[in-house]
């Protein structure tokens, strides 16, 4: 018996070894991304990949990882273990890879696609004047509203002033409806609320300066914004369960009609648009009209594909990355999992209404600030996130928040 088990094991190990040497006929590229089963971008990848395989006569072996674990995984993978093409966030995140020359410069391939891809969309992944990543879609923080619930308390439109929003929330609470849902399990979800509030208090120019490390966090207006956010939490505007729920559950709760509002990335547009119910997209209202305007948004072209510098055929991988970027953008836009970074050369009449609304907001935007955790490099971004996490649980107040960040980041 023991010998049999040993034999079987030996056979299994041998098989797995030999399979590693099996060769494929077509050139094969590997791809890592975060388009897991539950991710809004999944359908776009599922359509784009076969299309690109067909067009370029290649085979793409792809694997999807969960968002949070992907961040650590991609950073802890040594250069020669990286797949040929991988999803990355632009800004400082991809900047680390570019600085270490772990990703391949795409300047040779870019001119072939420049007609469809405005150069401004590459600005978040351009380092030292060189382009290092292919943008997919762009996204902004969007305030989604369940109009059926708003109607119950007498609102036909999403409030556009802060006073009106508070009055609406009070009415909702009085009617036994929870105004907002926010996941406390993933800190980036909290930033989706906090960053627009800060932006609408201090204005986008100042906020960009702070994220870039050129202005101090020690700004009483930020403390005021944090206190505003916390006053909304303590007044019971947020579902307390959210503290230990993950984002997918919170989103499912919103779609199921448990919350009146859900503020998160515009990549949710398609899913919310298709759900049963009457939903609208809006922006967070202005808190300080001297510094900010309604049209200022948080976001930008943030999702991108990079090519590993250690790829066996980086030029082919670069070609595939651009082709994939274009197709993922195309299908993502139509599915409503993002706004186009590439100029559409296809029929856009089928774009979902909610997506079209957000696209309009972007087109008319009066200022843009990149998501904080992408604008800053790894260490400051995570220090920032660790304090944002404490804000949601009301463990520190506004004054504590700015003091701590000023202390540690400047």
Partner 1 sequence: MKRTFTYKLNIVLFLLPALILFVGILIAPIIMSAYYSFHEFNLVANTDMEYKGLENYRILFSSMLTNPNTGKLYANSMYLGDALGHSLVLAALSTFIQLPLALIIALKLSKGIRGERAYLSIFFMPVLISTVIIGRLWMNIYDPGQAGLLNAGLRALGIDKWLFPAITNSIKSSKLPFTGQWTGFRETALIAAFIPILWQYVGYHMLLMYAGIKGVPADLLEAAQLDGCTEGQVNRFIIIPYIKPILKVCVIFAVTGSLKSFDLIYALMKDTSRAELPSTLMYKLLFLHQRYGLGSAIAVVLIVLCFLFAVLISFAFRDKGAKVA
Partner 2 sequence: MIEARKFKPSNIIVHVLLIILVLINLFPLYWMITFSLKTNDEILGYSYKNEAGERILVPPNHVGLPNHWEWSNYEEAMNTGNMGQYFVNSLAISVSVILITVIASFMATYALTRLVWKGRKVMNKFFMLGLTIPIHAAIVPVFTILSKLKLLNTYAALIFPYAAFALSMGILISVGFMGDIPYDLDEAAFLDGCGVWKIFIRVIAPLMMPAVATVGIYTFLQCWNELLFATIFVSSGKYRTLPVGVQQLFGQYTTRWGPIGAALTIATLPTIIVYIFLSKRIQDSFIAGAVKG
- 313 is in the binding site of which of partner 2, partner 1, none (Cβ under 5 to 8 A by kind)? none
For the bound state, the minimum distance from the C-beta of residue 249 to partner 2, rounded and expressed in Å, comes to 6
Does position 408 interact with partner 1 (CB under 8 A)? The reply is yes
Among partner 1, partner 2, none, partner that 209 touches (CB below 5 to 8 angstroms by kind): none
Name the binder of 125 from partner 1, partner 2, none, CB < 5-8 A by kind: none
For partner 1, the closer CB: 71 or 326: 71
**Residues near 261 by beta carbon (within 8 Å), at least 6 away in sequence:** 143, 144, 145, 146, 179, 180, 181, 254
**68 or 205: whose CB is closer to partner 2?**
68
- Contacts of residue 331, defined as CB under 8 A and 6 or more positions apart, other chains included, come to 43, 44, 47, 48
Instruction: State how far the Cα of 88 lies from the Cα of 90, in Å rounded to an integer.
Output: 6
- Spatial CA neighbour of 316 closest among 78, 31, 8: 31
Residue 177 Cβ vs partner 2, minimum distance, rounded to whole Å: 16
Q: Which of 41, 230, 296, 337 binds partner 1 (CB under 8 A)?
A: 230
Beta-bridge partners for 303: 89
Establish if 383 lies at the interface with partner 1 (CB under 8 A): yes
Q: Residue 11's binding partner, choosing from partner 1, partner 2, none, with beta-carbon cut-off 5 to 8 A by kind? A: none
CB of 377 to partner 1, least distance (A): 8
Interface with partner 1 (CB under 8 A), residue from 164, 209, 227, 241: 241
Q: Is 245 in the site for partner 1 (CB under 8 A)?
A: yes
β-strand pairing of 259-265 with 137-146: antiparallel
Specify the 3-state DSSP secondary structure of 224: helix
Looking at the DSSP bridge assignments, the partners of residue 262 are 144
From the list partner 2, partner 1, none, partner contacted by residue 13 (C-beta under 5 to 8 A by kind) = partner 2
Residue 81's binding partner out of partner 2, partner 1, none, with CB under 5 to 8 Å set by partner kind = partner 2
At 248, phi and psi to the nearest 5? -60, -35
d(CA 76, CA 203): 36
| Residues in Cβ contact with 359 at an 8 Å cutoff, skipping those fewer than 6 apart | 339, 340, 351
Number of residues that bind partner 1 (CB under 8 A): 42
CB of 400 to partner 1, least distance (A): 7
Please state the closest distance from residue 121 (CB atom) to partner 2, in A.
Answer: 29
Asked if 185 touches partner 1 (CB under 8 A), the answer is yes
Beta-strand ranges (E) seen in 249-381 are 259-265, 279-282, 297-301, 303-307, 339-340, 368-369
How far is residue 350 CA from its own chain's centroid?
A: 24
Dihedral sign from CA coordinates of 83, 101, 380, 180: negative
By a kind-dependent CB cut-off of 5 to 8 A, residue 100 interacts, out of partner 2, partner 1, none, with partner 1
Question: Measured from the CB atom, is 217 or 267 closer to partner 1?
Answer: 217
Contact with partner 1 (CB under 8 A): which of 143, 186, 323, 355? 186
CB 90 within 8 A of CB 301: yes
Least distance between partner 2 and beta carbon 377 (Å): 19
Q: Which residue has the tokens 């066996």?
A: 312
Interface ranges with partner 1 (CB under 8 A): 68, 71-72, 75-76, 96-97, 99-102, 184-187, 230, 233-234, 240-241, 243-246, 249, 253, 378-379, 382-383, 386-387, 389-390, 393-395, 400, 403-404, 407-408
């Amino acid at each position: 018996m023991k010998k049999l088990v040993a034999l079987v094991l030996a056979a299994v190990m041998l098989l797995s070894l030999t399979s590693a040497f099996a060769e494929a006929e077509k050139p094969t590229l590997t791809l890592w991304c975060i388009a897991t089963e539950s991710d809004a971008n999944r359908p776009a990848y599922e359509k784009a990949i076969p299309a690109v395989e067909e067009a370029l006569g290649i085979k793409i072996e792809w694997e999807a990882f969960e968002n949070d674990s992907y961040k650590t995984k991609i950073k802890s993978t040594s250069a020669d273990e990286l797949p040929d093409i991988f999803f990355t966030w632009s800004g400082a995140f991809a900047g680390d890879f570019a600085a270490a020359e772990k990703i391949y410069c795409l300047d040779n391939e870019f001119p072939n696609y420049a007609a469809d891809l405005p150069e401004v969309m590459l600005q978040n992944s351009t380092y030292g004047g060189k382009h290092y990543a292919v943008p997919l879609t762009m996204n902004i923080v969007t305030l989604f509203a369940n109009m059926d619930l708003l109607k119950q308390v007498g609102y036909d439109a999403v409030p556009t002033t802060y006073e009106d929003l508070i009055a609406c929330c009070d009415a909702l609470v009085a009617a036994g409806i929870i105004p907002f849902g926010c996941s406390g399990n993933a800190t980036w979800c909290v930033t989706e609320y906090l960053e627009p509030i800060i932006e609408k208090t201090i204005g986008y120019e100042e906020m960009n300066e702070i994220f870039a490390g050129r202005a101090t966090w020690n700004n009483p207006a930020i403390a005021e914004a944090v206190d505003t956010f916390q006053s909304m939490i303590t007044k019971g505007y947020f579902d307390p369960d959210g503290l230990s729920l993950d984002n997918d559950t919170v989103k499912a709760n919103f779609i199921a009609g448990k919350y009146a509002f859900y503020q998160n990335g515009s990549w949710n547009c398609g899913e919310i648009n298709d759900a049963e119910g009457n939903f609208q997209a809006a922006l967070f209202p202005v808190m300080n009209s001297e510094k900010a305007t309604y049209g200022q948004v948080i976001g930008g072209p943030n999702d991108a594909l990079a090519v590993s510098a250690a790829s066996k055929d980086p030029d082919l991988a670069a070609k595939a990355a651009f082709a994939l970027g274009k197709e993922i953008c195309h299908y993502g836009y139509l599915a409503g999992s993002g706004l186009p970074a590439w100029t559409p050369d296809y029929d856009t009449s089928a774009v979902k209404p909610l997506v079209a609304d957000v696209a309009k907001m972007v087109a008319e935007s009066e200022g843009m600030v990149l998501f904080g955790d992408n604008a800053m490099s790894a260490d400051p971004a995570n220090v920032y996130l660790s304090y944002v996490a404490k804000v949601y649980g009301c463990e520190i107040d506004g004054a504590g928040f700015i003091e701590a960040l000023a202390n540690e980041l400047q």
